[in-house]
């Protein structure tokens, strides 16, 4: 199965007139409500430091988007822990409040695409400083909003000494617990049961205290996935939770797979695709800041169609779609380990 990519891709591109988004518009969180689609997208200009912000765009058809402002709706704080950048927003809504998890750093990442893969930009802090500062480690925080235009920062959600991102909340409680996916980069080795960064799942009673409550959910098993991480908020179906995730192997290409989790116990993987369902193919996915990347961050369901919004080549926003029931069927039929 392959996802259908929009012939209007990229659906959002950098806007030269706005300095804060003149180089990058990618990795959009998504929401659909009252007949309107919203994209909360990652944006950056052509500055040496590479400060990263969020812009907001809206659409009535899910493909043609209009920016709501020429200014970002969310930016790095002036003097807080996320003063360097805010990245990759994942959106859920409970009652009347949007909950947005986002990755952040104390210092801007610099023009990372000019470095080797996974190399860390040097920051001007003493080597004796805590790693979160000296190595500019990425953490994840939570922001809340009533309208996706103004936000309140709630605070850090992950261990400050871990490079922990791809943090995604489930859109509703399961067994009266909040559920979170995350990808701690340092949890690798025999004691963790995985040789590469993997997807972990945690439960919490208050959405903030997740310590000591994580377990390994999914690790790389196929040729196209060594390091893996979650992508979009899981979608609940009558067959279980549909979870999109990315895999990266030796060729450093980002591809997308899918898994089905038990709806009453999402720590159980019912099935996962042996084959990827999306990979970079077109110029906007292969010729950008990162040459060879499709990275979903948001998805919504409308009339049985799953709209998957993804970052392409770390520079553009793009759209792929599929029938949600057909995707569930494919995950089960293409299960990498059918003995489950």
236-257 tens-digit pLDDT = 999 999 999 999 999 999 999 9
Q: What's residue 159's pLDDT?
A: 86
Q: What's residue 116's pLDDT?
A: 78
Q: What's residue 56's pLDDT?
A: 98
Domains and CATH numbers, the chain: 4-333 (2.115.10.20)
163-177 tens-digit pLDDT = 999 999 999 999 999
Closest CA to 30 of 21, 41, 20: 41
Q: What's residue 115's pLDDT?
A: 82
Q: What's residue 120's pLDDT?
A: 65
pTM of the model: 0.96
Q: What's residue 278's pLDDT?
A: 98
Q: What's residue 340's pLDDT?
A: 45
Ranges in the chain, pLDDT < 50: 339-340
Q: What's residue 126's pLDDT?
A: 81
Q: What's residue 124's pLDDT?
A: 72
């Amino acid at each position: 199965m392959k996802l259908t990519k929009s012939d209007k891709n990229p659906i959002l591109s950098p806007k030269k007139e706005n300095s804060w988004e003149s180089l990058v518009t990618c990795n959009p969180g998504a929401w659909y409500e009252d007949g309107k689609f919203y994209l909360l997208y990652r944006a950056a200009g052509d500055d040496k430091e590479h400060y990263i912000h969020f812009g907001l765009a809206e659409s009535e058809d899910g493909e043609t988007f209009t920016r709501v402002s020429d200014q970002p709706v969310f930016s790095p704080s002036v003097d807080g822990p996320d003063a360097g950048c805010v990245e990759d927003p994942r959106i859920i809504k409970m009652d009347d409040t949007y909950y947005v998890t986002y990755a952040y750093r104390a210092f801007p990442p610099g023009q990372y695409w000019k470095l080797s893969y996974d190399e860390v930009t040097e920051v001007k802090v003493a080597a004796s400083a805590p790693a979160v500062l000296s190595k500019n480690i990425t953490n994840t925080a939570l922001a809340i909003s009533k309208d996706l235009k103004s936000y309140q920062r709630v605070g850090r959600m992950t261990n400050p000494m871990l490079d922990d991102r791809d943090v995604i909340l489930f859109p509703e409680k399961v067994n009266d617990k909040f559920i979170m996916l995350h990808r701690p980069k340092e949890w690798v080795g025999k004691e963790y049961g995985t040789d590469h960064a993997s997807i972990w799942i945690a439960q919490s009673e208050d959405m903030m205290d997740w310590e000591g409550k994580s377990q390994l959910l999914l690790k790389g098993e196929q040729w196209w996935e060594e390091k893996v991480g979650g992508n979009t908020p899981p979608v609940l179906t009558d067959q279980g939770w549909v979870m999109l995730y990315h895999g990266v192997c030796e060729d450093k290409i980002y591809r997308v797979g899918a898994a089905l989790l038990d709806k009453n116990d999402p720590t159980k993987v019912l099935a996962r695709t042996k084959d990827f369902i999306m990979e970079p193919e077109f110029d906007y996915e292969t010729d950008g800041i990162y040459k060879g990347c499709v990275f979903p961050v948001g998805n919504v369901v409308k009339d049985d169609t799953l709209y998957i919004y993804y970052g392409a080549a770390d520079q553009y926003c793009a759209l792929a779609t599929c029938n949600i029931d057909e995707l569930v069927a494919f995950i089960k039929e293409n299960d990498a380990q059918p003995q489950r």
